[in-house]
């Protein structure tokens, strides 16, 4: 099995690691753990990439503790891999050179909510479900929803988005400011609670999506949104993926402020029906939702229905009942597990790309054909309002040929998206899995990223071997 | 007159500059100019800060030419100051160490419009009015409106926003991707036309707002918006600034998607009445606009009216007629000139800050009191939906005491905003004028900015002496 093409080597500093563990154990007692089961759980578990466990897991309780740990690791040149809930998909959490997994899940307090400013301040271990439960009585909510109950710290570090992004944006749009422990242990606040600022370089956006390679995020100031007065939505079935995509394109062009619009291809619908015990019509469908006032969502839904009808709509079912709607969205969120259920003996290689919406039908259709022609099993789901879609390539990890076939498909998919003016990842991030596509997408920009990385983390201790690999130069 | 406290010294490389001008003259002929009038016009003209002219002005026509010029200047260690329309306000364009003003105004082509993707690609010299005139037949528009007919390149470089930001965001939200000539002449594309991406560090947002200190922006991919089906708006007069601010806070909290909401204090209203020949009621007022469907804007306007009524609204006048509405907004845009008209013998020191909206009434009221107590003339206008407001401090530049008084006021204003959890500039940028406030606002973050600057521009040739001053370390 040769999956390591995507995993770059990072030189292992065994002596420094031993010293760090000794000091951390003395300092943090039970909060520094070295059991193999915990270490493996903190290497990468939700990815098909081989697990590379860290040497120890340390549970931090404050920004100051994080700073202390980072300073120690900087002194000893020991890698630090920040860890939230472990739900990232591209090998972000692997420890190719060993080192310390810095688990932030116990820093899980909502520090402040400012309803009048529509913002809040949270520690990085707060999960999005926890935050929304906390906010329930305020009439506000945090809209970014990547499916998994990820931590806000992890979502910030990976620039997460998900189903709601078409209306509410991604983490880059929802983060106002951060507290970051830099690779030398310095504590930096990247911004204020002001809604906008032009006071210097945008350190907030530099850190959002930096995947723990430029510092450790220890506090996040987030924008919040008012819970919409009315939500309506439904399921629109079509004969073809192209009809689905064209409906989305026209609706977006028309300016309908859709909150969520998800594409499920026929294979996904079948898997979801089986997994979630539903009886959705087994053809490509759009799951759509509108947020607004009563009159607003009615108006949006009517216009959407008209556009769908012009694109050979087969069937449109309203889900006005919140319970029914929640069931549908739960099924959408379970599409990953439903997909795995199509071939339980195989492993899911989850990959995502994003293209300009005008190229969406082309890209999804070409990808669908590619899957069929190559005899792969690969259900497709997509946040199509953004031009972002996912393929879950079911791969037999015991069969080198099958692995090679899946890898070749993923490569074609990524290059196809980039050639269509898109990106090799809309929301999963780079981690280890997408590093090899960055030169094609960013060209000379990769060297700029490396220069930034080198300037802020000259010792290359922050999540080394991810995004840009300084060791490999 | 001692205004240079804000203008840091940059070492002058006379020999390099002479060589650069000789080479550029040979290469570009008439497109390399050294007349003093043109040089002074390319130093800073719209700011109260003393003009520091560059040694020559070169008009570039392509990304490749920009790269060639930058490479030459890098070789000779000559400063480059990118120039668009010259409408920035904080001394961004001054040449404290001399050097070359790189005028991009002749790179003014709209390269492509993609209506189906709601985006376009423009050269940096395209102005926002030019772009909107070009887009007129597409049903789309570019919503960022800082008042001046700035170039898109300049707006990107300074992270501009303006009246529409409350609904449409700022340049950071509207820029999808950039072509940038880096300080070594390398040409980098920072992103793609995909709506979202998590493919590595956000170089786009790093460049937006970098004010020409990290590279020269030579092409911009912008999001566009559909021209709203309906626009409605009006003028709401109140007894006090606090009532205005509270109305804004409640409307934002309620989730009314206001497109623009501007505060004019009594002095501004008086100046605008005189300058634009209007008869607005001479008390604090809000100028408000809603964008949406016919039903949507009606609903928004009604709710806004109810909220205003609960905050001691004096008078609400609808401006349904587009001509009347345009006249009002033209008057708002002319507030700067109207303000200058209050004391024509004085010079306007235009400054802006931004605070969390919950602190807006406090901050504006305290600032208003500060102005009165210190016998200053300082009309206040604000993009209050974002918590952002401006003061035009009318200063007698022939009177050192008056200058000192104005400078002390601006300093108090900036520290007041920062202490209220805000920022020293919501949209004007740092340039030379706001550099001294960055340490208070960003603390250790200033060193991070300097590290980024040093890594990308190690020779410190890109607009030196702005944002972070490497010479001064």
Whether B439 contacts chain A with CB within 8 A: no
| Residue found under tokens 């947020």 | A291
Helix (H, G, I), strand (E, B) or coil at B372: helix
Please check whether the domain covering B343-435 is classified as CATH 1.10.1670.10: no
Q: What's the CATH code, domain B230-320?
A: 3.30.70.2190
Nearest to A114 among B356, B424, B451 (CB): B356
Select the CATH number that applies to the domain covering B110-226 from these four: 3.40.350.10, 1.10.10.10, 3.10.129.10, 3.30.465.10.
3.30.465.10
What pLDDT is attached to residue B299? Answer: 87
Helix (H, G, I), strand (E, B) or coil at A301: helix
Helix (H, G, I), strand (E, B) or coil at A46: coil
Please report, for residues A225, B269, B318, B382, B431, the alpha-carbon distance to residue A114 in angstroms, rounded to integers and kept in the order given.
12, 32, 33, 22, 32
> What crossing angle do the helices spanning B14-28 and B63-76 adopt, rounded to 10°?
150
Q: How confident is the model over A100-137, as pLDDT tens digits?
A: 999 999 999 999 999 999 999 999 999 999 999 999 99
Go through A164-173 and write b for each residue having 16 or more CB atoms within 10 A of its CB, e for each that does not.
bbbbbbbbbb
Tell which of A111, A196, A354, A363 to mutate to test the B interface (max B CBs under 10 Å). Answer: A196
Nearest to B201 among A190, A206, A354 (CB): A206
Backbone φ and ψ for A263, nearest 5 degrees, come out as -100, 135
- The reply to whether domains B110-226 and B343-435 share a CATH topology is no
Q: Which fold has domain A230-336?
A: Alpha-Beta Plaits (3.30.70)
Q: What's the CATH code, domain A343-434?
A: 3.30.70.2740
Residue B159 CB partners (closer than 8 Å, separation 6+): A198, A202, B170, B171, B172, B208, B209, B427, B429
What pLDDT is attached to residue A471? Answer: 62
Q: Per-domain residue ranges for chain A?
A: 4-105, 110-226, 230-336, 343-434
CA angle A236, A242, A246 (to 5 degrees): 70
CA distance A205 to A171: 9
Is the distance from CB of B13 to CB of B78 less than 8 angstroms? yes
CA distance B115 to B227: 12
What pLDDT is attached to residue B2? Answer: 37
Q: Do A226 and B186 touch (CB under 8 A)?
A: no
CA angle B89, B93, B99 (to 5 degrees): 170
Whether A338 contacts chain B with CB within 8 A: no
> What crossing angle do the helices spanning B241-254 and B294-310 adopt, rounded to 10°?
140
Is the distance from CB of A275 to CB of A341 less than 8 angstroms? yes
Closest CA to A265 of A248, A284, A247, A278: A284
Q: Does an H or E element contain B39, and which?
A: helix B36-42
How crowded is the C-beta side of A162, counted as CA atoms within 13 Å? 21
Is the distance from CB of A204 to CB of A424 less than 8 angstroms? no
Give me the residues of chain B with pLDDT under 70, please.
1-6, 471-473
DSSP letter string, B390-455: EEEEEE-TT-HHHHHHHHHHHHHHHHHHHHTT-BS-SSS--TTTTGGGHHHHHTTHHHHHHHHHHH
Nearest to B190 among A158, A229, A445 (CB): A445
Helix (H, G, I), strand (E, B) or coil at A6: helix
Cβ-Cβ contacts under 8 Å, A202 against chain B: 159, 172, 202, 205-206, 208-209
Alpha-carbon dihedral sign for residues A115, A116, A121, A127: positive
Q: Locate B20 and state its tokens.
A: 């650069």
Longest Cα–Cα distance in chain A:
69
Strand segments, DSSP code E, in B274-423 are 285-292, 313-318, 347-354, 380-383, 388-395
Whether B361 contacts chain A with CB within 8 A: no
Q: Locate B445 and state its tokens.
A: 């973050």
Backbone φ and ψ for A291, nearest 5 degrees, come out as -120, 140
Residue A3, min C-alpha distance to chain B (Å): 21
CA angle B311, B313, B316 (to 5 degrees): 140
CA distance A156 to A174: 9
Alpha-carbon dihedral sign for residues A228, A230, A231, A237: negative
Of chain B, the end-to-end C-alpha distance in Å amounts to: 26
Select the CATH number that applies to the domain covering A4-105 from these four: 3.30.70.20, 3.30.930.10, 3.30.43.10, 3.40.640.10.
3.30.43.10
Whether A467 contacts chain B with CB within 8 A: yes
How buried is B103 (Cβ within 10 angstroms: 0-12 exposed, 13-18 middle, 19+ buried)?
buried
Cβ-Cβ contacts under 8 Å, B434 against chain A: 199
pLDDT in single tens digits along all 473 residues of chain A = 334 446 777 889 999 999 999 999 999 999 999 999 999 999 987 888 899 999 999 999 999 999 999 999 999 999 999 999 999 999 999 999 999 999 999 999 999 999 999 999 999 999 999 999 999 999 999 999 998 899 999 999 999 999 999 999 999 999 999 999 999 999 999 999 999 999 999 999 999 999 999 999 999 999 999 999 899 989 999 999 999 999 998 998 888 889 999 999 999 999 999 999 999 999 999 999 999 888 889 888 999 999 999 999 999 888 778 888 888 888 888 899 999 999 999 999 999 999 999 999 999 999 999 999 999 999 999 999 999 999 999 999 999 999 999 999 999 999 999 999 999 999 999 999 999 999 999 999 999 999 999 999 999 999 999 999 886 44
Which residues of A, range 188-217, sit inside 8 Å of B by Cβ?
Answer: 188-203, 205-206, 208-210, 214
Select the CATH number that applies to the domain covering B4-105+452-456 from these four: 3.40.1260.10, 1.20.1730.10, 3.30.43.10, 3.40.50.300.
3.30.43.10
Residue A407 CB partners (closer than 8 Å, separation 6+): A5
Nearest to A421 among B192, B208, B214 (CB): B192
Find, in chain A, the residue whose alpha carbon is nearest to that of B160.
A198
Is the distance from CB of A432 to CB of A175 less than 8 angstroms? no
Find, in chain A, the residue whose alpha carbon is nearest to that of B185.
A444
CA distance A81 to A211: 9
């Amino acid at each position: 099995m040769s999956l390591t093409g995507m995993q770059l080597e990072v030189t292992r500093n065994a002596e420094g690691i031993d010293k760090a563990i000794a000091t951390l154990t003395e300092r943090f007692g039970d909060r520094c753990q070295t059991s193999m089961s915990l270490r493996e759980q903190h290497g990468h578990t939700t990815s098909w990439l081989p697990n590379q466990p860290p040497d120890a897991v340390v549970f931090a309780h404050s920004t100051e503790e994080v700073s202390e740990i980072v300073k120690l690791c900087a002194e000893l040149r020991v890698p630090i891999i920040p860890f939230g809930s472990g739900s990232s998909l591209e090998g972000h959490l692997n420890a190719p050179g060993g080192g310390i997994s810095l688990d932030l899940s116990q820093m899980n307090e909502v520090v402040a909510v400012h309803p009048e400013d529509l913002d809040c301040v949270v520690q990085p271990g707060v999960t999005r479900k926890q935050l929304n439960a906390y906010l329930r009585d305020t009439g506000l909510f945090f809209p970014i929803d990547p499916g998994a109950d990820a931590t806000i710290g992890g979502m910030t570090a990976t620039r997460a988005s998900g189903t709601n992004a078409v209306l509410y944006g991604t983490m880059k749009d929802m983060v106002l400011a951060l507290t970051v422990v830099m690779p030398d242990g310095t504590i930096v606040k990247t911004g204020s609670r002001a809604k906008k600022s032009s006071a210097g370089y945008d350190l907030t956006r530099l850190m959002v999506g930096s995947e723990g390679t430029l510092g450790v995020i220890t506090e996040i100031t987030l924008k919040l949104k008012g819970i919409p007065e009315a939500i309506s939505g439904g399921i629109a079935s079509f004969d073809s993926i192209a009809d689905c995509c064209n409906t989305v394109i026209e609706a977006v062009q028309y300016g309908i402020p859709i909150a969520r619009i998800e594409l499920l291809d026929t294979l996904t619908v079948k898997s979801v029906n089986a997994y979630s015990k539903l009886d959705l019509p087994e053809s490509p469908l759009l799951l759509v939702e509108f947020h607004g006032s009563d009159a607003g969502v009615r108006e949006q839904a009517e216009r959407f229905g008209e556009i769908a009808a012009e694109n050979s709509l087969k069937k449109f079912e309203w889900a006005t009942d919140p319970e029914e709607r929640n069931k549908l969205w739960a099924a959408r969120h379970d599409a990953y597990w439903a997909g795995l259920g199509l071939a339980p003996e195989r492993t899911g290689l989850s990959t995502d790309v994003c293209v300009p919406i005008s190229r969406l039908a082309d890209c999804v259709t070409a990808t669908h054909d590619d899957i069929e022609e190559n005899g792969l099993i690969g259900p497709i789901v997509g946040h199509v309002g953004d031009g972002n879609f996912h393929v879950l390539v079911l791969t037999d990890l015991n069969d080198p040929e099958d692995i090679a076939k899946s890898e070749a498909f993923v490569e074609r998919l990524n290059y196809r998206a980039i050639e269509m003016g898109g990106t090799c990842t809309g929301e999963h991030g780079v981690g280890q899995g997408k590093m090899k596509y960055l030169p094609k997408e960013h060209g000379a920009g990769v060297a700029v990223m490396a220069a930034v990385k080198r300037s802020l983390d000259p010792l290359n201790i922050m999540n080394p071997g991810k995004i840009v690999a300084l060791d490999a130069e």
